[in-house]
Amino acid sequence: RPLQIICNLCHQVRGRLKDEVEGMRMTHPNFKPGLVVLQVGDREDSNLYISMKLKAAAEIGISAVHVKLPRTATENEVMRRVMEVNEDSKIHGLIVQLPLDSVHTINTERIINSVAPEKDVDGLTCINAGKLARGDLGDCFIPCTPNGCMELIKQTGVSLAGKRAVVIGRSKIVGAPMHDLLLWNHATVLTCHSKTADLASEVGKADILVTGIGKPEMVRGEWLKDGAIVIDCGINTITDSSRPSGKRIVGDVHYDSAKDKAAFITPVPGGVGPMTVAMLMQNTVLSAKHFLQAQEPGKWNINYTNLNLQRPVPSDVTISRSCVPKPIECLAEEVGLFSDEVELYGRTKAKVQLKTIDRLQAQPDGKYVVVTGITPTPLGEGKSTTTIGLVQALGAHLKLNAFACVRQPSQGPTFGIKGGAAGGGYSQVIPMEEFNLHLTGDIHAITAANNLVAAAIDARMFHEATQSDKALFNRLVPMTGGQRKFSPVQINRLEKQGIKKTDPSTLTEEEITRFVRLDIDPESITWQRVLDTNDRFLRKITIGQSPTEKGFTRTVTFDLILLAGNGPTLAFTFHCFLIGHVTDTKAELDLICKLAKEAGAFDAVHCSHWADGGAGAADLARAVQKAADLPNSFKFLYDIELPIVDKIRIIAQKIYGADDIELLPEAQHKVDLYSKQGFASLPICMAKTHLSLSHDAEKKGVPTGFVLPIRDIRASVGAGFLYPLVGTMPTIPGLPTRPCFYDIDLDTESGEVHGLF
């Protein structure tokens, strides 16, 4: 059989990969596979290999970045760079160029195994090596050199099944993975090394020989079996006076003598080396494909836990503590979040980074389901419980991607009479104590930020009241090195005021006044100042002026002393659900469902998720799913561009049955203010008593002939709506005679909070 030289396959592989990358760009125009080559030091051979990889990447369409650290880099510095790449969602492959050329001792194995397995396109981490050894070839990255060797062997057309293969060398990069790859392709494999007795005899039995020992021309042609396939991975330099450089590169096999015995052989250079680079590119493209597949809309791979239902239903806190929560990082992975998109707060809580929205821009939007209620009671009517139960049913029972969006409970209801807002029974957020109390601490941070703003404004008002414009300007923009200079924040403030100047000396007196003085209405500040000092304040608040306080007013004051010397929109498809009481009969429940449907509800179903978890809301979930599949006919009750007053009037007349509305002075002031500020086009969400369609809780049924008083209007600009306050409705509930906090206690030994429900 004539000798065949195995080479040039790499060009076919690169061409195929280039087509695949172009195909990705067709469906994802802004996407590009990303590769990072991390090098430590400046070895000449490493520089050569890296340049080959970067060239191949550019040819294929891969965005390759060469990160080069100096020889002084420490192990921790290298590790930090690896972690940065691991958490970069734009990078799909990371290779650590070996050897690590540092003046410091670096644990190479630790560095290699710190690479995220899903980005280990070199296939050298213990995870990928272990999967290869176990035969999980479809779930791992195969090291590039053995993978390239296998492709070269397959090019011969010779079946590996039953063939005797000999691998000389047992390195983690070539020999060991080559053995595993041949084995799982059904060859009978023998690995030889420096301690192997009678190496020539073993080589002579091989149908397939792969060498990777770094010994120039060690394997002689006379060792080979006639017709063998010879794959030479060796790269060795020997002296050759006939070459201008005085050196030439040879493999581990003596090529001239081997070509007379072998049927197939790879040249050195030009055989395995280019295929190694091609396989690196192939692994990178494969990793990028995995990334894109993870972004495609599809079912979350969630492992739902089974509920151990008890009868009678225990207390909420008992149920919460009986459930073992899944580690939050596991849940994040199951729903397709990346590690760098999740900020962990212990094992049960995490924040999702806002940048995740950018990554998911191309994803289709899901359905937005609002769980709401009417005629609320002081003890709550089950909105949170139903929200959790519905999501349990949609996810665990209907196998749909669904998540609940609930707010952190306020301290007032939690410590008052209503209790927490984590849901209840077998449809609750766990651990309920952490959810109801501190969660991630953001509320406390907001409180601190509000206090800081209050202190800053108070101090500024004092300084403005006691200094001239010139004195303020000199202190705000002081002379430094003989000149004044605005800070970036100050320039931004000037631009907001329409002053397009950057040189402090060019401001007019009127512009200086606008710059140094804040536009604050003192009437909106509740603090009363002691005139003689900036360090002692008298805060005076009168409590009980609301009509709901029944005339019981009281004045609260306190001093802070610095010691001397110390420094509605209506157009919804209604889905009614009923949460029953134990005394409810089937006939009663059926009647309510019938009446709700006759009144226009899309469906009405009985739910038992408090007692049965998601299974108890399965019918509700199916009803919601059907409604969500209907065409979207949402529209506002009014033209969103109408003036604020007109939108409120339309709601009052068409929904509540009022003859007209009456704007009290404060409400009229807010209308003028919000219109001036550009908020007039925001939709309206009315805040009024739930006990009547009118503003008077005593008027039941369908009252008529009344005028709806609007006492104030407030803005939730971030949420995107204005909310008028109707009549005397309070916005902050008071505490009852026997609030919940009477029963709340802390176990100082276990750290558990008792008394929550």
The per-residue pLDDT for range 271-321, each reduced to its tens digit, is 999 999 999 999 999 999 998 887 777 788 898 988 899 999 998 888 888
pLDDT band at 570 (very low <50, low <70, confident <90, very high): very low
Answer for the pair 408, 447: CB distance below 8 angstroms, yes or no: no
Q: What does R_g of the chain's alpha carbons equal in angstroms?
A: 37
- Residue-range domains of the chain with CATH: 316-395+402-443 (3.40.50.300), 474-560 (1.10.8.770), 644-726 (3.10.410.10)
DSSP 588-600: HHHHHHHHHHHTT
Beta strand spans in 127-220 (E): 164-168, 188-192, 208-211
Least confident of 12-21, 539-548, 701-710, 746-755: 539-548
pTM more than 0.85: no
pLDDT of residue 362: 75
Q: What proportion of the chain, given as a percentage, has pLDDT over 90?
A: 61
Task: Return the sign of the alpha-carbon dihedral for residues 332, 336, 339, 342.
Answer: negative
Where residue 527 falls among pLDDT bands split at 50, 70, 90?
very low
Cβ neighbours for 103, distance < 8 A, ≥ 6 positions apart = 71, 72
Residue 21 in this model has a pLDDT that exceeds 90: yes
In the predicted structure, residue 369 carries a pLDDT above the cut 80: yes
43-67: average pLDDT: 95
Strand positions, DSSP E, 252-341: 264-265
Say which residues have a Cβ less than 8 Å from residue 366's Cβ, sequence separation at least 6.
401
Predicted pLDDT at 757? 59
427-428/423-424 β-pairing: antiparallel
Which is higher by pLDDT, 89 or 706? 706
Please indicate whether residue 53 is annotated as part of the active site: yes
**H or E element: which one contains 560?**
strand 554-560
Q: Dihedrals φ, ψ of 246, to 5°?
A: 80, 5
Measured distance CA(256)–CA(253) in Å, rounded: 9
What per-residue confidence (pLDDT) applies to 529? 41
pLDDT of residue 364: 82
Q: Comparing 634 with 288, which gets the higher pLDDT?
A: 288
% of the chain surpassing 70 pLDDT: 87
pLDDT of residue 553: 54
User: What is the model's pLDDT at position 526?
Assistant: 47
**If pLDDT is split at 50, 70 and 90, which confidence band does 579 have?**
low
Average pLDDT over residues 200-226: 96
Catalytic option among 32, 53, 205, 500:
53
Asked whether the predicted pLDDT for residue 402 surpasses 70, the reply is: yes
Query: Which position has the higher pLDDT, 722 or 418?
Result: 722
Write out the DSSP string of 13-26: HHHHHHHHHHHHHH
Residue 742 confidence (pLDDT): 60
Mean pLDDT (the chain, rounded): 87
pLDDT tens by residue, 111-127 = 999 999 999 999 999 99
**Of 525 and 447, more confident:** 447
Please give the structure tokens belonging to residue 142: 């195969």
Residue located via tokens 């929560």: 325
131-140 pLDDT, tens per residue? 999 999 999 9
The residue-averaged pLDDT of 692-720 equals 92
pLDDT at 352: 92
Please state, in angstroms and rounded to a whole number, the distance separating the CA atoms of residues 255 and 257.
Answer: 6
CA angle 124, 125, 129 (to 5 degrees): 70
